[in-house]
Amino acid sequence: MVGIAQPWLKAALEGETAIDGLYEKILLELKVAMFCTGVQKLEDFRAKKVWKWHEH
């Protein structure tokens, strides 16, 4: 995951409740992404071809 430090640092400044909330949000987003791509384990993301890049 790229660019994820800032939300964690902001949550850390707000307190433990904010950290817990961010964790739950990221976990839900990951589960949705896994469901939508048909991935069952995190390791499967490496082999899954989700995007197709088109050069113009």
pLDDT at 2: 61
Neighbouring C-beta atoms of residue 26, cutoff 10 Å: 14
7-21 as b/e, with b when 16 or more CB fall inside 10 Å?
A: eeeebeeeeeeebee
Mean pLDDT per 10-residue interval, the chain, length 56 residues = 84 97 96 90 80 66
pLDDT at 17: 97
pLDDT at 35: 92
**Which residues lie below 8 Å from residue 42, measured CB to CB, with a gap of 6+?**
34
pLDDT at 15: 97
